[in-house]
Amino acid sequence: MKWINKGHEYDAVFENIKKLEGIYLFGAGHDGAMVKDILDNRYKGIKVLGFIDNDINKKGMLYKGLHVYSFEEIKPKANIGIVISFASEFTCAIDAQLHKNGWIKEVNFFHYEMFLSVLAAYEYHQLFIPSISILPTTKCNLRCEACLNFTTYIKHFTDRPIERLKQDIDLFFQKVDYVGLLLISGGEPFLYEELPSLIQYVEEHYTDKIYSLETVTNGTVRPDEKVLKMLQKSRLKITVDDYRDALPEQSESIECNLNLLCKYAGRDRIIFRKYDEWIDLYPFPQKQLQDSELVEKYDSCHVPWQEFRDGKLFSCNYAAFASVAEITGEVDPSETYDFTAATKGSLKEIMEFRLGYSEKGYVEFCRQCAGYLEINEHKVRPAIQKGS
């Protein structure tokens, strides 16, 4: 989205949020639980009436102490809203479902990233960031053809010095009051030797500002003793991408690593993730687009991830990764928000930037990139190795 009224882009949305007497959370799952917890404990005042879920098996259940309704049971009503409580890249179908049944976007239904960010900024004068990625290393032991970090293009793998990461984290939390998810990503984070120190630093200093601290691994790297010790003490959650179908020769060692993680972190802190198909971003011939079409492409992409690096928030993770992999040149400064120049008065601007606003309304890499999940036509099998 292109900035037209910087610092005031969500004034109208907040007016609509203020009218709400109660809301339903659409999605009785992980993100729904997070939104409910944050509304109960941090940004209070709006009554959560229950959950809605399209999964018929959840109908009538209690979730987080509230009733789960089917969508058909909840009709539009004055001053009642719906907050879609799962990541924005999966919400197109829900948007359409709500729209078809008389609900109006940003009037009586909202995505949680926007809802919580706007509520925090306008009502509490706080900066809420739904999620942020910190990348300690570009090193990875796999060479997935469709790696979204463009690992196969990287000529020089690098570890970021721990002191630089700590400076970034300190600067980030000087401006940010609360973050839904802080993701330590990569590369493969288990190849970063200072990972235990990094996690310890974040937990010692910023636990009260983070709902969920997570990392993600490809499951093929055996966590060393230092990491296992850290897992016992920490509350870090670990997403394990299950690539056993693509890497059958590593099945046994992956199984061993999973068992170790479960033993030391506890099964509850391990999130297993398996995709039947994945996407490839680059390189595919792209239509030449005018500025307005690029803005449209960026908006329809719903890329949910932004990286924080060297004091800057990047508008799109994948554009930042393309630059690191030297597919593109330096990222255009207008595609980043420089936290070193931010003041207290920048709160709403940063919030808008994190929700997708910028001067151009797109990033240069949109010209070359096939786009994130729903708009991407290039489906592939996950973790197929280059040259295999």
Residues that bind ligand SF4 (CB under 6 A): 297-298, 301, 303, 316, 318-319, 363, 365-366, 369, 371-372
State how far the alpha carbon of 337 is from the alpha carbons of 63, 229, 311, in Å.
38, 36, 8
Q: Looking at beta carbons only, is 146 or 198 nearer to ligand SF4?
A: 146
Least distance to ligand SF4 from the beta carbon of 297, Å?
A: 6
Phi, psi of 69 (to 5 degrees): -100, 155
Per the CB < 8 A criterion, the answer to whether 85 and 92 are in contact is: no
Least distance to ligand SF4 from the beta carbon of 358, Å?
A: 11
Least distance to ligand SF4 from the beta carbon of 318, Å?
A: 4
Beta-bridge partners for 83: 25, 110
Least distance to ligand SF4 from the beta carbon of 369, Å?
A: 3
DSSP of 87-128: -GGG-HHHHHHHHHTT--BTTTEEEHHHHHHHHHHHHH---E
Phi, psi of 150 (to 5 degrees): 60, 40
184, 190, 196, 197 alpha-carbon torsion, rounded to 10° = -70
Instruction: Name the token pair of 172.
Output: 């980030």
Residue closest to 66 by CA, chosen among 35, 24, 31: 24
Least distance to ligand SF4 from the beta carbon of 303, Å?
A: 4
Q: Helix, strand, or coil here: 267? A: helix
Q: Looking at beta carbons only, is 242 or 332 nearer to ligand SF4?
A: 332
Per the CB < 8 A criterion, the answer to whether 358 and 334 are in contact is: yes
From CA 164, how far away is CA 139, in angstroms rounded?
17
H helix count then E strand count, the chain: 11, 16
Least distance to ligand SF4 from the beta carbon of 9, Å?
A: 18
Q: Helix, strand, or coil here: 276? A: coil
From CA 363, how far away is CA 84, in angstroms rounded?
26
Per the CB < 8 A criterion, the answer to whether 335 and 315 are in contact is: yes
Least distance to ligand SF4 from the beta carbon of 319, Å?
A: 5
Three-state SS annotation for 296-364: HHHHHHCCCCCEEECCEEECCHHHHHHHHCCCCCCCCHHHEEEHHHCCHHHHHHHHHHHCCCECCCCCH
Residue closest to 384 by CA, chosen among 279, 246, 242, 243: 246
Q: Looking at beta carbons only, is 179 or 301 nearer to ligand SF4?
A: 301
